Amino acid sequence: MTKESEAIVRALSTIPLFHGLDARQIRKIAARFSELDYKEGDVIVAQGKIGIGLFIIESGRVEVLKERVDGTKIMLEMLGANQFFGELSLLDEEPRTASVIAVEETKCLAITRLDFLDVLREDVDIPILMMKELARRLRLALEVR
């Protein structure tokens, strides 16, 4: 496995959506990633547009911005190397809730929703395990404390 593949596997292992998967299944998903380069100021994800996939930041930094109805923008967070965004767009085709903009030269590893769905078709255990993890997390969220 290449150094880049190992980095993708490590990053995917930290994403709650993939917690129920074993190393072989995570490697299968990691194999579908490609590298994308962005310049400072590039809009990686635009609020209101349909999400196309999951991004893992390999190097650089991005800011996550939310535009309010009155047009003002607020910065929700700054993300850097080994952090990720867009994981929910792997599951649905809903508009993005925020924009993500490169604040410096940034390299991302990305997988599209279509490539991800191909992996799910190839290994039917993956979606079952993911549903179990989502159900577990939903139960935790619904628990009365």
Q: What is the pLDDT of residue 138?
A: 82
The string of pLDDT tens digits covering residues 76-130 is 999 999 888 988 888 888 899 999 999 999 999 999 999 999 999 999 999 898 8
Residue 35 to residues 18, 49, 64, 104, Cα–Cα distance (Å): 20, 21, 20, 16
**Which SS3 state, helix, strand or coil, does residue 85 take?**
strand
- The whole-number pLDDT of residue 145 equals 57
Which segment of 1-15, 37-51, 67-81 scores lowest on mean pLDDT? 1-15
pLDDT at 93: 87
pLDDT value, residue 110: 94
Domain-wise residue ranges, the chain: 3-142
For 35-62, the pLDDT digits (tens) are 999 999 999 999 999 988 999 999 999 9
1: confidence class by pLDDT, cuts 50, 70, 90? low
At the fourth CATH level, the homologous superfamily of domain 3-142 is Jelly Rolls (2.60.120.10)
Residue 63 CB neighbour total at 10 angstroms: 16
pTM of the entire predicted model: 0.82
pLDDT value, residue 20: 86
C-alpha distances out from residue 126 to 5, 106, 111, 113, 132, Å: 19, 30, 16, 15, 10
